[in-house]
Amino acid sequence: MTRVSISIGILVLLIGIGIWSEIWVDRRCERILGRIDIIAEERKAGNYAKAKEEAAGMADDWQDFRLKALVVLKNGKLSDIDRVCSRIESLSGTDSLDAETESAELRHMLYSLKNAETPYFSSVF
């Protein structure tokens, strides 16, 4: 009976960690996506200095997220986003179409990361 109780406890712990990590990844991705929207609004308004400041804040948020996310996610999922995020930080202070392209690419990658971590019934069974 003790083995069964320990096994159930371990199973409940694993399910709890899985749910917590999905919620955490979802919230952090939403925060970074919100920053991307702010950067796009500032660039449209012509406030390139403010956009660069927001991009630096977004890069800091990303680095904080990345260090902690390596515990629950594979590095391969994060390395491409890391590359694009660093380019957005340097391009956001300029009037370049590349910044919009990179922003759209980063938004797509973050949505993909967020959706990949959301458990669906079809992906479990």
For residue 125, the model assigns a pLDDT of 52
Distance from C-alpha of 122 to C-alpha of 48, rounded to nearest angstrom: 44
What does DSSP assign to residue 118? S
Distance from C-alpha of 72 to C-alpha of 15, rounded to nearest angstrom: 13
**Least confident window among 8-12, 31-35, 46-50:** 46-50
CB atoms within 10 A of CB 34: 12
Question: What pLDDT band is residue 63 in, cutting at 50, 70 and 90?
Answer: very high
Please state the pTM of the whole predicted model: 0.82
CB atoms within 10 A of CB 52: 19
The token pair that represents 113 in the structure block: 């990361």
What does DSSP assign to residue 73? S
Rg (CA), the chain: 18
Query: What are φ and ψ of residue 92, in 5° steps?
Result: -70, -20
For residue 103, the model assigns a pLDDT of 85
For residue 29, the model assigns a pLDDT of 92
Q: What mean pLDDT do residues 58-87 have? A: 88
What does DSSP assign to residue 94? S
